[in-house]
Amino acid sequence: MNRRQLLTYGVFGLGATALAPGLARSGPRAAQSQTARDRIERIAIHPALGIARVGNSPDEWFLGPEAPGSHPLPPEGFKDSAGRIKRQAARFRLYGFDAEGEVVGEVTAAGADIRWRVHLANSKAAWYSFDLPFDIPGAKGLPAGPGLAAPPPTRSLRRNAPVADRASLAIDPGARSVGGRNANADGQDAGARFAGGMFFDIEVPLGELRTDDAGRLLVLGGSGESGPAAGGLEATDIDNNDLWYDDTSDGPVDATVSIAGRAIPVTGAWVVVAPPNYAPGIQSVVTMYDVMFEAATILQPELAPMPPSFTRMIYPMFARLVQNQWVNAGFLHRFGWGAASDFLAPEQLRRLASPSPQHRPLRQEVFARFRDPAYTSMNYDELPPYYGDSVNFPGTDPRQWLAVLPIQYGWLRQWAAGDFEADWPAAGLTFPARLEDVPIAAQPAMLDRAVLDDCLGGPFHPGCELTWPMRQPLLYAEPFRLRRRVGVEPDWGPAMTSELALAADGPLRASGPGDLTRWLAVPWQTDTASCLSAYERSLDEYLPAFWPAHVPNDVLAPASYQVVLDPAASLGQRQDAFTHRVKWLRDLPGFGRSNRERMNAFVAQWSAAGIVTPQPGPEDDAPFPATFWVELGHALVDDSSVVSK
């Protein structure tokens, strides 16, 4: 089975049981033997797009997900003993391929000379304001749906337009390189640190490079620092705050590799340093992997699997709806443990996984609940219950709410008709504990997916880690890999429009350092503190929501969790405690009163927000889930004088 077949089928598996049929499990294999090294014709860096996350713990960090199905839980949790958030490191590996495109093995410092090079930058303040995603009808000046009037085309002006020296707005410390084993292990090597980047006269460090004991690259981002160039200047807008900066970033990842004196060509990757994930391991119904895979199938239609696998394509959407019960009370009531639409209840799941004509009415009823991505109706109550790319109150655009991707909707349509691969394992799914437990041939694609499934695939208003340009095939040189810009980027003029943004020779044609994150909010904290849930309480108390899988709305607090665990409490008391949710941003200044106050308070207290973390369920036989997700580390204080630790 070649790599293209793995990309088409195997990567969709959530674990070892979902790999392509006939692909035997094998232990980890490195391309260290002389015979193996001689077969290597090219090397590729994986993940093709890695994700690091900011954190303000000065010494502690953890690795992001590398194997599908689970998120690493750092020792002692996601915060240090002082309550500061640990940074998430992005780790990059090298895989050698032979002349036929087969994976030979992982290339490490044990058998090769490796030198890594990364260039991070933050150019948000030098870019254009976010108003709407430029790839939706409303931004293009087209009617958003049948019978709707055409709005004027979106015209987004430059951020900080009066500033003539545009270079003073871009935080660009230049490229850094590192090599060998355990390089910069203590983080103090000045040559490996992204220092020296300036926002006006303010130095804004963007992180550092390290390597592990096998010579793999580790990218650690900034400390979560955000602020204005002038003291006392408040943030006033959700997405666009002039004279403000943050220390998220992105840029290319490259390596030079020599094996026994023979230089091997290396296909590069990209890294994004994103905000923290406040519910690590909980996925949105549409992930960034889904978005980028759909773009890949446009570039290479043969990658689209037909018919869809229940295990690999259908089940994840249902599982994610259920999983969101831990971050939004509306999901709990609709899809949570014991709810009518708990798609993971054993009998319900058995019927959903069956192609039997007997269960066709159920499949069709469930399919009918999903919003059509053609966006032909204005119905807030369809699935998934998220806000969309174009949000106004009252809503005037069907994209007020999110739909699954067209490729996902097509899979659901086939599933409803009974045209799907009925491959649900009788014993349920199992997941690899680590990437090394995955067959070597599947590791590169599995690594790509594990990283991107941990990122949101919408709504893009504008988003958390990445945003709407990731939908555009124009962005990519090949599936999952960005096309690189050579030379200086053109000046795109005083305003960005849909026509310009989507042009074949426009800004998406090729990317340079800082180009992915510049489309997002500045600073990120104002967007995170603003995009919550249930803005029209007359429709629903809890839904729709924006990004609950990473920015929770309603959480299970430790006190309620302890009641559920207590066998001495009555079953009724335990059930009441299980369903009791509290607001994630409770105790934040301005919460429920003033969005402006809340945004500025979150800039100061972002690391004091709780992180939803998996915890074991009750040890007795009480009717509760085996795993709970509990908010830990909540330390927000309703005091505007409090500053971030």
Tens of pLDDT, residues 194-215:
999 999 999 999 999 999 999 9
pTM comes to 0.95
583 in Cβ contact with 591 (< 8 Å): yes
Residue 178 clears pLDDT 90, i.e. is over it: yes
Q: Is residue 260 part of a domain?
A: yes
Confidence label for 395 from pLDDT (cuts 50, 70 and 90): confident
Tens of pLDDT, residues 60-105:
999 999 998 878 899 899 999 999 999 999 999 999 999 999 999 9
Residue 450 clears pLDDT 60, i.e. is over it: yes
476 in Cβ contact with 299 (< 8 Å): yes
Q: Is residue 326 part of a domain?
A: no
Indicate the DSSP class of residue 120: -
Q: Is residue 315 part of a domain?
A: no
Instruction: Report the number of distinct structural domains present in the chain.
Output: 1
Average pLDDT, the chain: 93
Residue 393 clears pLDDT 90, i.e. is over it: no
What sign for the dihedral angle of Cα 387, 392, 394, 399?
Answer: negative
Confidence label for 21 from pLDDT (cuts 50, 70 and 90): very low
Q: Is residue 627 part of a domain?
A: no
What is the rounded end-to-end Cα distance, in angstroms, of the chain? 52
Which residue carries 């044609």 as its tokens? 509
Helix H or strand E segment including 177: strand 175-179
Residue 28 clears pLDDT 70, i.e. is over it: no
What sign for the dihedral angle of Cα 58, 59, 60, 65?
Answer: positive
Q: What pLDDT, on a 0 to 100 scale, did the predictor assign at position 86?
A: 98
Out of 3-7, 110-114, 310-314, 621-625, pick the least confident. Answer: 3-7
CA distances from 386 to 190, 286, 400 (A): 44, 10, 9
Q: Is residue 90 part of a domain?
A: yes
Tens of pLDDT, residues 584-613:
999 999 998 899 999 999 999 999 999 999
585 in Cβ contact with 532 (< 8 Å): yes
Give burial (CB, 10 Å; 0-12/13-18/19+) of 428.
exposed
> What phi, psi does 599 have (nearest 5°)?
-60, -50
Residue 59 tokens, joined? 């010494």
Q: What pLDDT, on a 0 to 100 scale, did the predictor assign at position 37?
A: 81
% of the chain with per-residue pLDDT over 90: 86
Q: Is residue 478 part of a domain?
A: yes
Residue 603 to residue 600: CA distance in whole angstroms: 5
Which residue carries 């490229």 as its tokens? 175
Residue 495 clears pLDDT 80, i.e. is over it: yes
Residue 499 clears pLDDT 90, i.e. is over it: yes
Q: Is residue 616 part of a domain?
A: no
Residue 350 to residue 346: CA distance in whole angstroms: 6
Residue 616, Cβ neighbours under 10 Å: how many? 10
Quote the domain boundaries for residue 80.
Answer: 3-18+34-303+431-522
Q: Where are the beta strands (DSSP E) in 456-602?
A: 476-478, 481-482, 495-497, 554-555, 582-583
Residue 367 to residue 446: CA distance in whole angstroms: 28
Q: Is residue 544 part of a domain?
A: no
